[in-house]
A = this chain, B = another copy of it.
Amino acid sequence: MANRFVEKLSGLAELTAADKAALEKATARPRRYVARQDLIREGDEPGPMFVVLEGWVCRYKILPSGTRQIMAFLMPGDACDLHIKLLAEMDHSIQALTTAMIATVSRDEMQALMSGHPNVASAMYSAQLVDEGIMRAWIVSMGRRSSPERVAHLMCELYLRARNIGLTGNGEFALPLSQLVLADALGMTAVHINRVLKELRLTGAMALKRGSVTILDPVKLVQIAGFDENYLHRRMRHAS
């Protein structure tokens, strides 16, 4: 199976065989992490860039009150900020949510790769922009969407991201996240998200089972979410 990182970047810029080979080489030795294992913690000195090849990962922060807020989900193909090494210390932690295969690429190596392969650099910048768009969408969700809208919106986002990397089946996709994890991402309680999921199931829009989501009525789900896929920038400028 192809390297998902290469696959994802291929969708963001035209890559030559040499570009792809260089990327594969850089991520050839992934390491296995188990669920709940931290890749790096708040306060640590930033190290290499992480590239997720298999499994799910999240960025999160624990507040003084002990509650947790997840700020981003990374799925196969996603990578952490390339310029992170410029900072003195991490302002949040990164953790595997499932067992995961993760490659590390040193900043110098990445720098060299990007300057030798402009297409790769361009793809990385685009990926960064998409990630920022996702963060802004989260801010909008948390600030102004009701909880059913918020849940529906996240599911739309994750479905499209999963589809981009070929992880979806027939109106369905694997979502190996507990309701508690989803609650921590959406700023809700596990109890409350459970009720919201029930409500969404009853409307016939979607259903979440252990480990996977079924989109029963895509039109209805998108409508509930007020979802506009524009922000995921699936159409990049170079393709238009």
Interface residues of chain A, those whose CB is within 8 Å of chain B, are 43, 59, 61, 63-65, 67-69, 71-72, 81, 83-89, 91-92, 122, 125-126, 128-129, 132-133, 135-140, 142-145, 185-187, 226, 228, 230-231, 233, 235-238, 240
Contact = CB atoms under 8 A, between A and B. Distances in A.
Contacts of A145: 63
A237 B88 contact: yes
B64 A236 contact: no
User: Which residue, A81, A86, A135, has most C-beta atoms of chain B within 10 A?
Assistant: A86
Contacts of A185: 143
B59 A122 contact: no
A136 B133 contact: no
27 contacts: A61-B140, A63-B140, A63-B226, A65-B144, A65-B226, A68-B144, A69-B143, A71-B140, A81-B129, A83-B125, A85-B237, A86-B236, A87-B236, A88-B233, A88-B235, A88-B237, A88-B240, A89-B230, A91-B133, A91-B228, A91-B230, A91-B231, A135-B139, A138-B139, A139-B139, A143-B187, A144-B187
A238 to B, nearest CB: 8
A187 B140 CA distance: 8
Contacts of A69: 139-140, 143-144
8 tightest Cβ-Cβ pairs between the two chains A and B: A143-B187, A142-B142, A91-B231, A83-B125, A69-B143, A69-B144, A69-B140, A135-B135
A35 to B, nearest CB: 22
The residue among A136, A233, A238 with the most chain B CB atoms within 10 A of its own CB is A136
A24 to B, nearest CB: 24
